[in-house]
Amino acid sequence: MSLNYLLVTLLSTAARSQWKLPAISVRPCNCSARVYVYDLEPPLTDPGYGEAHNPFHRRPDTPGPWDPNEQGEHMYALTSILEYRLRRSCCRTTDPEEADLFFAPIAPRPRERASLYFELCQSGNLSAKSVRLALRHAREPWRACRHFFSLPHHYHFEQCGGWFAHPKPPYELMMRVGYLHSITPSLERRVRAEALNDHTAKRSHLWKDLSKVSSNISSTYPNLISVPYPSVRWSSGQTRAGFSPPWEREQHGLDRPVISPTMLFVGSAAHGDVAVRTLVVKQCEAHPRCTVSPWRGGASLLDKQRAVFCLEPSGDSPDRKSVSDDVAMGCIPVFFSAISSGLAPWFWAAAGSAGGGYVLIEREPFLVGNVTLESELGRMPSARVAALGHAVTRVAHGFQYSIDDDPGDAVDVLLTGLHKMADAQCPHHTHQQP
């Protein structure tokens, strides 16, 4: 056992002591990457965050059954979740020479309004100069390319120029993690053509989606990777204690009917892609096996756990937290936008094939009536329904940000992908012994 590993264990013990957690035995560490976590000071971080902050508000050593009424994490808590996990991970290293990746937990506090992010950047507190001074291991290109930030929506940080948006050397080498990424030029051309032909509104909703994911943002926000939203709380301790996660439906006495499958839409037609949402509501309300419901917290999660297909027309943005809830509950997401279905590709990969684990109903054929919910879902062959359900179960673990080190969860999938990406893009460097 290395001295570095002992130091990390001692730090974790100190953190547990602060939270009055009992000591736990050290488990073997199977790391997809060794991660160095920066200790930042305000204004780069937020007061009350850092070593002591627990975004899960629950201890990982108190396993019990999944509770649908337990409050989940804030939908924008991505950075604080990653900071909490990586600071306590056995994969953390305090030696930059050992690190495969470097994490800078900048602005970890979830902010409800976009204006708060704009103000944060415009204040000058997150200037390129302040970031450069704090990230002391990013001054060489061969290490800068192993750094990553996590900020939920990249376009909220447009004013953070020089390091996050329109980055200058060496920041253009760093990786950015959020809920969206830029689409390919071929997909963009296809969506633009569809938007030009869309007469459902004065201005198609597709233009709004394109403004956030167009291929040209790859130069403004290079190395941008999309990840799922956080959903339910789960820990490896619950699995080891014999409790079943909610996506393992059979263990909860719930079958997934492959003949005459049920459909569910949690939402409304009042926002987002109004044209698609209005038609979804209309067809769903007229269908005997389809339900429309507003969001009702834990009750909606249980509804998703009982449904076969969960309908996910685009909202205010192509990404939806609801999709993570679908997967956590073992419900097959149904997209109406190729932009939405193309997000978080590293996390869908466990389905085993492109398009596995979800259904994509093409937007334009749906709007003109060439396809319907009944034709695409209600009459789907039972073997296909069963295969999709099994695929959702395979990807579910990788969509969840577990409370503690949990091989195969979303943090592990992310680190694996970032490590491979860094190895592929980083310039070769041979360490010179003094």
pLDDT digits (tens, 9 = 90+) for 274-314: 999 999 999 999 999 999 999 999 999 999 999 999 999 99
Instruction: Dump pLDDT digits (tens) for 363-381.
Output: 999 999 999 999 999 999 9
Cα separation, 127 vs 121, in Å, equals 7
- Whole-prediction pTM value? 0.90
Q: Is a pLDDT exceeding 70 seen at residue 6?
A: no
- Res 11 pLDDT > 60: no
433 pLDDT exceeds 60? no
- Indicate the domain borders of the chain: 24-181+221-230+401-425, 246-399
d(Cα 198, Cα 128) in Å, to the nearest integer?
Answer: 41
Higher confidence at residue 56 or residue 176? 176
- Pick one of 3.40.50.300, 3.10.20.740, 3.40.30.20, 3.40.50.2000 as the CATH number of 246-399: 3.40.50.2000
Q: How confident is the model at residue 430 (pLDDT cuts 50, 70, 90)?
A: low
Separation between Cα atoms, residue 187 and residue 204, nearest integer Å: 17
Q: How would residue 61 be classed by pLDDT, with cut points 50, 70 and 90?
A: low
What's at 244, amino acid-wise?
S
Residue 276: name the closest of 340, 186, 354, 182 by CA.
Answer: 340
Confidence (pLDDT) at 353: 78
Which residues touch 279 (CB under 8 Å, ≥6 apart)? 366, 367
What is the predicted pLDDT for the residue at 25? Answer: 33
Least confident of 88-102, 343-357, 384-398: 343-357
Mean pLDDT across the stretch 248-271?
Answer: 88
pLDDT band at 434 (very low <50, low <70, confident <90, very high): very low
Mean model confidence pLDDT for the chain: 89
The pLDDT value given to residue 19: 36
Cis check: omega of the bond before 170, within 30 degrees of 0: yes
Mean pLDDT of 31-59: 87
Q: Is the pLDDT of residue 14 over 50?
A: no
Q: What is the DSSP letter of 183?
A: P
- At residue 18, does pLDDT exceed 60? no
Is the pLDDT at 24 greater than 60? The verdict is no
Residue 168, judged by CB atoms within 10 A of its CB (0-12, 13-18, 19+), counts as exposed
| Range from 79-88, 195-204, 342-351 carrying the lowest mean pLDDT | 195-204
The predicted structure's pLDDT at residue 145: 96
Q: 3-class DSSP state for residue 396?
A: helix
- Report which of residues 214 and 25 the model is more confident about: 214
101 pLDDT band, cuts 50/70/90, is very high
Residue 254 has a pLDDT of 81
From residue 420, alpha-carbon distances to 105, 146, 221, 356, 424 in Å are 21, 10, 19, 23, 6
- Classified as helix, coil or strand, 112 is coil
